[in-house]
Amino acid sequence: MADNKQVTLERIKAPLGKTMEEYELFLRQALHSESRYFDDILKYIFDNRGKGVRPTLVMLTAGLMAGKEHKHSQRVLLSAALIELIHTASLVHDDVIDRADLRHGKASINGQFGKRNAILTGDFILSRIFELGMESLEFDILTYVSHTIKWLCEGEVIQDEQTKTLGMTHEKYYDIIDKKTASLLAISCGVGALAVKAPAREVDAAYEFGRNLGMAFQIKDDILDYAAADQTGKPTCADLREHKITLPLLETFATMTPEEVAATKELVARGDDEAIAIIRTKVMEHNGMERAERVMEKFLASARAALTAYPESDYRESLEMMCDFLAMRKK
């Protein structure tokens, strides 16, 4: 675990130094259109983007694998940008699907520019991913990252199906979060290694590190969904309102009789305020959040253990801090 000083993304990104500025320039050029109106939308995306966890993982893993003397190459910048563009396109489309008017506390693309423009913007970003990848001639990188686009779509569809049948099991849950979240963190770390031409076994090891981190990240997200709204700033049990059964409730089911599980699933199907409040109380009484937290800790421990194979460096320390940052967040 990192030292007691507060773990912030600023501290985590510190070893990247000026590379971060080069990366920002690269990303803005990637998010550009000759069409003035479209470029306004892309600028809006650039100005209101998230914390950059995934591209940071790409660049830190590249540094971890290539050593301190490594100068961040175009391959690394390209990889980081492709990952951020995939993430961005998926969120633009996700907000259309979820009819969400807000993203990162600001109007979402559909909220600000309308549904049609949001769909086209997601498509445009996907096209840029392939254009940049092809033009760069770095086909190994484009091929490697493109797998995750397919997994993101699959994860969403399987999740959607589960909300209709309420047939969620632990196995299906892990498959969904692997595809919809962990795959992108896994590919972020794997492509960081690939970008500096690390041997295949190192690319696989980086992928596994990112996958474990991503599983922990999504489980934390699912635990926080049950936390009080005044802690997270988001409405409590938003997932349940969409009939999504996640790990805290699955862990609660594991301690219930089949009759209690069936009765609770009926409440999930109802999904009104009263039903949600009853389910949340059950999860609290059965320690569903704590049980889910223990599962999260296992994934996190695997991620942390993978880092011990590397010599101590600023990059390794930052990746260790990233584990703490993602697991200890309160919102």
- The residues of the shown chain that bind ligand FPP, judged by CB under 6 A, are 86, 89-91, 93-94, 97-98, 100, 122, 126, 149, 152-153, 156, 180-181
Extract the tokens encoding 248. 């805290």
Q: How far is the CB of 305 from ligand FPP (least distance, A)?
A: 26
Q: Report the SS3 class of residue 107.
A: strand
Torsion of CA 37, 41, 46, 48, to 10 degrees: 140
Q: Which residue is nearest to Mg ion (CB)?
A: 98
Instruction: Tell whether the torsion through CA atoms of 152, 154, 157 and 158 is positive or negative.
Output: negative
Q: Which is nearer to Mg ion, 94 or 208 (CB)?
A: 94
Q: Report the SS3 class of residue 106.
A: strand
Q: Which is nearer to ligand FPP, 152 or 219 (CB)?
A: 152
Q: How far is the CB of 57 from ligand FPP (least distance, A)?
A: 16
Phi, psi of 310 (to 5 degrees): -105, 145
Q: How far is the CB of 232 from ligand FPP (least distance, A)?
A: 11
Give yes or no for residue 178 binding Mg ion (CB under 5 A).
no
Give yes or no for residue 94 binding Mg ion (CB under 5 A).
yes
Residue 97 binds which of Mg ion, ligand FPP, none (CB < 5-8 A, kind-dependent): ligand FPP
Residue 152 binds which of Mg ion, ligand FPP, none (CB < 5-8 A, kind-dependent): ligand FPP
Residue pair 264/282 in contact (Cβ under 8 Å)? The answer is: yes
Give yes or no for residue 98 binding Mg ion (CB under 5 A).
yes
Extract the tokens encoding 84. 């951020």
Residue 126 binds which of ligand FPP, Mg ion, none (CB < 5-8 A, kind-dependent): ligand FPP
DSSP of 202-216:
HHHHHHHHHHHHHHH
